[in-house]
Structure 1
Amino acid sequence: MLAFQLRNAIYNIRFTTSAAHRQQNFSLTSTRWISSFQLTPYDVNMILRENEFSHIFTDGENTLLGYESNQLASNKPVEDSRTEASFIHKNAFICGIFDGHAGSACSQVISKRLLRYIAAGLVDRKTLREEIAKGCTSQSFLKCHNDSEDFVKEIQKIYEESFSRYVNDIANTEMTPEEAMDKACLQLDSDMSDEALKHSDLRTIMAVAMSGAVACVAHIEGRDLSVVSTGDCAAVLGYQNDTGQWMSKKLSYEHNTDNVAEVKRILSEHPPQEADTVIRNDRLLSQLAPLRAFGDFRYKWSNEIMEKYVVSNYGENYMPPNYYTPPYLTAMPDIIQHQLTADDKFLVIASDGLWDFLSPNEVITLVGEHLSSKKFLDPLKLPDGDVTLGQISAILAKRKAGRQKKPLDQNSATHLIRHALGGTDYGIEHSKISYYLTLPQDVVRLYRDDITVTVIYFNSDYIKQLS
């Protein structure tokens, strides 16, 4: 009983720890009290690697070598989603990470639908019209690599009707890639709103409307890299400078109260007398942390619609406080475009569960070192031409030294998650990882969020040819 009371006391103390200070305030002593047992290294590996996925592009004429991804849940069910796909009509790749809140429904829906809306907008209009003439569906433009499930028939029919209207609407309108991506995000969000109001009797449709999700999507075609972001997921480019040092470059903006420009934007869209209520306690209307998101229509619909569809069915508690001049929320994305060079080696996209623990620089350094250490595991290849025994000896010695740094994980996304949970100034601490993985379901969300990571590797030789 005493141990139980002490454990609860420590829990209560640690409950006040914010996400930004989770790692900083980690205490190995309190961990031993909190966790009733420790996982074995084998158990930790099984948990961390359960959702690993990797894909290699075998065609050498490709901007990408491949990608690796992983996901570690905190919420049950997990509220993060991820999707990766290649275009059917051209040599291009698109992937995204989606972080849900107030449930997993919206995240799951946009992870399947958003990439398809974007893809339809990015194919040339002649191809689009030809596909429409053949009776295209939302799956006519992409081949997904890590998604074998789809919506139930009743819901799928509703979504396909919306998609059909969308492609017919844009079929004769020329758009820049940036315009097409922006249009896709806003149209999908609008379609989800219309679907919810039209089919408010369907619980699945309304669950999507009442929940929300943020998104970060990367599109790569040739040397052109575009990152589309709405919310607080993030994308970071890893490249090497002239001295071979790993460097990071942010390719997204977080739409939260840390972004001063975003706060000013929202305040400017509402009367001055709402300045103290639009954002309060670092949240939109004191409730929502991301300042842009898909879904979450109870921050977008008019007061009349809220009364008719939300308050009448879900109660007054679903009406946000100080709801005077909606909409307060938008799915409008920020789009950052980048021309790839041979120095650009990889792109990391992750939900905020990773960035709570690791900075962009730390993430890029970890992936870069992981990439370098894996090279020593490849079959030995001698340089072309005559090679002396001394040169071979030096190559073998370097290879032997490199093997001592052999990573625990082949998958770089898993490598990042392991370091996020267990990293210390002295390396990986097993007891720290075990602590985070054995927290009870009813409190784990107070210590870590869902973590979803995708690492995309670029083909430097091919990019050099395009330059």
Structure 2
Amino acid sequence: MLSRTPTLALRAARIAPHVRAVRLPSARFNSTTPQSPSTVRRNAIVAGTLLAASAALYYYESEAMGLIGPNKTEPGFTVTINTSAGVKTWNFERKPEAELEAMLHENEGTTPVGRKGNPVVKWDTNFVASNEPSEDRSAGDIVPRGQAKGWWTTGDVQGKADHPGHRDLVLLSVIDGHAGDATSQLLSKTLHPTIALYLAGLQAGIVPGRSWYNKITDVLTWAKTWSPLNVSRVLQTAYVHLDDNICRTPINQLSTLLAAEDEVEARQKFVAVAQPAAAGAVTATAFVDAENDGLYVAVAGDCRAVAGWQAADGSWRCDVLSEDQMGDNPREVARMRSEHPSYEADTVIRNGRVQGGLQPTRAFGDAVYKWTSAQSAAVADVFRAEGAKPRASRPWNFTPPYVTARPEVTHRTLHNGDEKLKFLVLATDGLWDRITSEEATVLMAAYLANAKRPDVGKVTLAEEIKVKTTEPRPYPVEDLPGQGKRTDGQWAFEGDANAATHLIRNALGGGDRKLRGELLSLHGKVSRYMRDDMTVSVVFFDDEE
């Protein structure tokens, strides 16, 4: 919990280096030696004069050093956390307001599309790190399909109106790493090319999982192969095959490692290749198929996608396009228990986590939940020999794998009666830990109307922007705006040009600027206790030419 009162120790430590010592005149006396009234008055006057001079000197030097006064260093604060090692307290200084604002804006990015016929106008991205370095990543790509020169064209096509935007494919992903950033780094470079490769196969009539006979008939009637069902299969296959390559490569290289002439070099290469398998990452990918009026969202883990639809009468609908795949999701618990023998019912999920360890039930990497115990031990031996720390092998590892990268895929058409798709929010769980899907929709709807306005109460804004939600609501079902526990406080609209920044600002306290400053001033392990890395992409749609 963040304390709002500066500690005396912090205040003294901040002031002491800039205060000159002022020596008071000494007086030799003891309790048995009475002093005359004139002596007492004289000493009091001298002491009072010196104390006033000391205070004036302190104020002058403090002002010169930038310690007090308007827009100067903020007071310190304490953080007290009940850890596994007991209750611990840390002291922090609040960063100046200018530095806090710089943190909110330093990783912003806006990608305009500017291609006639492409329903995506632009996307805004931003991230604020908690881990050092951040374990989150994001990616965004336009795959333009050519009319006559093959399936896609190459080169920079953004902003070029002479390319047929109505045939574009747009891929956007947010990636949340854990146990390091090796997996998220790799996925940011390889996930979209892998998906594009499998989509090219579907364009050629190759449907994943089909028999040879069906593949031949598919080629003869390829126009029927590009369907929501088959596109969903492609997205799932691309995720799973990429993860198989990540996790199997280290195992396949073990025999090569043992036969290498230069053992040290071989170990170094092995550890580098194995890092993405040893770490892990959850991912959400949005795929926009302009030509076929399709929006797909594939999610493996607890990243989330939320769409905002506006009706002709101006009302809004929150459409949650994914479900958090975690160890406390009853559907995921049932699925995992059904995939393993009944004697593992109590160990597959323990305390809401996979084998008591990993919170998401679907992820790339996390190979200790996918390898056999012998394979994990062999990899761990190489890591230790190289001076690297391996992830601990899992208990009750009887019938791996226990974690899969196979995503759940949701499909929507871009046009839905009198409703218009206005935006899509893709974000890692650092955002969703602090605001709900419906709150994000309210914040975005109000932002589109007016990005700069005075702070507004959460209940007031919920009454102003009435948002209905698509039923049934996916897991987790949380309080709607203006209901339950989330009614206190205010939202902030500070004129952010980047919509992702607007959402992050409000997730970090909104109108409570003191809380925001404290959360952003944290660093080290304590920061991760209080907030996660936040990565947000906001995609804007418009069907106007």
* 1:460 paired residue number: 543
Q: How does 1:406-421 map to 2 (within 5 A)?
A: 407-421=494-508
- Residue 83 of structure 1 contacts residue 96 of structure 1 at CA under 8 Å; is this kept in 2? yes
Q: TM-score, normalising length from structure 1?
A: 0.73
| Gap regions ≥5 residues in structure 1 | 17-30, 130-170, 377-404, 463-467
1:225 Cα deviation from its structure 2 partner: 0.2
Select which of 519, 542, 545 maps to 1:436: 519
1:418 Cα deviation from its structure 2 partner: 0.4
- Residue 127 of structure 2 contacts residue 533 of structure 2 at CA under 8 Å; is this kept in 1? yes
* 1:36 paired residue number: 93
- Residue 380 of structure 2 contacts residue 391 of structure 2 at CA under 8 Å; is this kept in 1? no
Q: How does 1:69-88 map to 2 (within 5 A)?
A: 69-88=125-144
- Residue 452 of structure 2 contacts residue 495 of structure 2 at CA under 8 Å; is this kept in 1? no
One-letter amino acid of the structure 2 residue matched with residue 366 of structure 1 = L
Counterparts of 1:320 and 1:107 in 2: how far apart (Å)? 22
- Residue 299 of structure 1 contacts residue 328 of structure 1 at CA under 8 Å; is this kept in 2? yes
Report how many residues are paired: 373
What is the DSSP-based 3-state SS (H/G/I as helix, E as strand, rest coil) of the residue aligned with 1:96?
A: strand
Of structures 1 and 2, the larger Rg is shown by 2
Q: How does 1:392-403 map to 2 (within 5 A)?
A: none
- Residue 63 of structure 1 contacts residue 221 of structure 1 at CA under 8 Å; is this kept in 2? no
What is the DSSP-based 3-state SS (H/G/I as helix, E as strand, rest coil) of the residue aligned with 1:273?
A: helix
1:37 Cα deviation from its structure 2 partner: 3.1
Counterparts of 1:55 and 1:128 in 2: how far apart (Å)? 32
Per-residue CA deviations over 1:209-232 (Å, capped at 9, x if unaligned) read 110000000000122000011000
The answer to whether structure 1 residue 192 and structure 2 residue 246 are counterparts is yes
Select which of 230, 233, 240 maps to 1:179: 233
Higher relative contact order (CA 8 A, sep 6+): 1
- Residue 311 of structure 1 contacts residue 318 of structure 1 at CA under 8 Å; is this kept in 2? no
Q: How does 1:59-70 map to 2 (within 5 A)?
A: 59-70=115-126
The 1:182/1:280 distance shift into structure 2, 3 A limit, reads: same
Select which of 395, 418, 436 maps to 1:321: 395
Counterparts of 2:361 and 2:96 in 1: how far apart (Å)? 38
Select which of 90, 104, 109 maps to 2:186: 109
What is the DSSP-based 3-state SS (H/G/I as helix, E as strand, rest coil) of the residue aligned with 2:125?
A: strand
1:4 Cα deviation from its structure 2 partner: 6.2
One-letter amino acid of the structure 1 residue matched with residue 535 of structure 2 = T
1:271 Cα deviation from its structure 2 partner: 1.7
What is the DSSP-based 3-state SS (H/G/I as helix, E as strand, rest coil) of the residue aligned with 2:79?
A: helix
Counterparts of 1:9 and 1:276 in 2: how far apart (Å)? 43
1:96 Cα deviation from its structure 2 partner: 0.2
| Gap regions ≥5 residues in structure 2 | 1-6, 12-74, 145-151, 153-166, 207-217, 255-266, 454-491
Counterparts of 2:529 and 2:243 in 1: how far apart (Å)? 30
- Residue 93 of structure 1 contacts residue 221 of structure 1 at CA under 8 Å; is this kept in 2? yes
Counterparts of 1:317 and 1:76 in 2: how far apart (Å)? 19
The 1:15/1:60 distance shift into structure 2, 3 A limit, reads: farther
* 2:39 paired residue number: none
Q: How does 1:39-438 map to 2 (within 5 A)?
A: 39-40=96-97, 42-88=98-144, 89=152, 90-123=167-200, 176-199=230-253, 201=267, 202=269, 203-222=271-290, 223-310=293-380, 313-314=383-384, 318-341=392-415, 342-374=419-451, 407-423=494-510, 428-438=511-521
1:313 Cα deviation from its structure 2 partner: 4.1
Counterparts of 1:279 and 1:334 in 2: how far apart (Å)? 20
Counterparts of 2:239 and 2:539 in 1: how far apart (Å)? 22
The 1:290/1:125 distance shift into structure 2, 3 A limit, reads: closer
Counterparts of 2:414 and 2:499 in 1: how far apart (Å)? 21
1:369 Cα deviation from its structure 2 partner: 1.1
The 1:210/1:343 distance shift into structure 2, 3 A limit, reads: same
* 2:4 paired residue number: none
What is the DSSP-based 3-state SS (H/G/I as helix, E as strand, rest coil) of the residue aligned with 1:460?
A: coil
The 1:459/1:76 distance shift into structure 2, 3 A limit, reads: same
Q: TM-score, normalising length from structure 2?
A: 0.63
Counterparts of 1:415 and 1:316 in 2: how far apart (Å)? 39
- Residue 354 of structure 2 contacts residue 361 of structure 2 at CA under 8 Å; is this kept in 1? yes
One-letter amino acid of the structure 1 residue matched with residue 503 of structure 2 = L
Counterparts of 1:292 and 1:284 in 2: how far apart (Å)? 10
Counterparts of 2:116 and 2:244 in 1: how far apart (Å)? 40
* 1:145 paired residue number: none
